[in-house]
Amino acid sequence: MTKRMDLISRVMRNGGKRGIYILAKGASGASIDGEVRLSHRGKLRIFHTDICFIEDCRTTLAQRTGFVVADTELIKYGEASTQESMEVLSRETSLWSLKLFNTGHFASDTPLYSLADLESSCEKYKETCLLAPHHEQPGINLLALVSGATLTNLCLPPHNMESTMAIDYAYRDDWEETWKQGRPYFIHYAGGRAASQYPISRIFLII
């Protein structure tokens, strides 16, 4: 196996549900169990299969450019960062954690890297991109944030969409009331919460 193919193989294995190689130009045709990819006019949209759509995502995402996310991972960033990535990102800004996102969903209207540049960046940040033991989330976060792409989180001002994360609704059953402030276009049941006792899990049955 060549060094290049060995690197790609390790990146894909490290990804679990999804390898970080999808950030590269020319990689969007691949598919890995655990995700759904929607491609529309060259734009990439990633959704894990534990996501339930509330609205047609195309309506919301058609109005956005750059790298778009919609979640509250920034307040749970232990799953989205490593010691290495925290050190790298904190050198750029003290507000680095406000840019973290959950990789269960993101969209981009352009590739962030060529395949060669992606491989080089993975080697540069090996502890996060290749050796992180659990999943792809820290690697995708770091690579997206150091790429220079403009990142928009629709759950933050000035957009203020209500949370897309099931865990943020816990045991309340009046989620529709909160959605009057800004209805999300999906709910993400990260961590197996679609089968939980959370009332919002009923959305799967409603739909």
DSSP secondary structure, 116-129, as one string: HHHHHHHHHTHHHH
**Beta carbons of 134 and 81 less than 8 angstroms apart:** no
Amino acid 14: pLDDT: 42
Q: Above 50 in pLDDT, residue 28? A: no
* Domain ranges, ordered by start, for the chain: 3-153, 166-182+189-206
Q: What is the DSSP letter of 165?
A: B
- Measure the CA angle with vertex 145, ends 49 and 117; round to 5°: 95
Q: State the Cα–Cα distance between residues 7 and 4, nearest whole angstrom.
A: 5
pLDDT, one tens digit per residue, over 57-67 is 888 898 899 99
pLDDT, one tens digit per residue, over 57-100 is 888 898 899 999 999 988 876 789 999 999 999 999 999 999 99
CA-CA distances (angstroms) from residue 163 to 14, 19, 80, 178?
28, 25, 17, 9
Q: Above 70 in pLDDT, residue 36? A: no
Amino acid 85: pLDDT: 95
Q: State the Cα–Cα distance between residues 141 and 152, nearest whole angstrom.
A: 13
Q: At what angle do helices 137-146 and 115-124 cross, to 10 degrees?
A: 110
**b/e burial code for range 153-190 (CB count within 10 A of at least 16 → b):** bbbbeeeebbbbbbbbbeeeeebeeeeeeeebbbbbbb
Higher pLDDT, 79 or 150: 150
Residue closest to 128 by CA, chosen among 136, 143, 139, 116: 139
**Beta carbons of 195 and 201 less than 8 angstroms apart:** yes
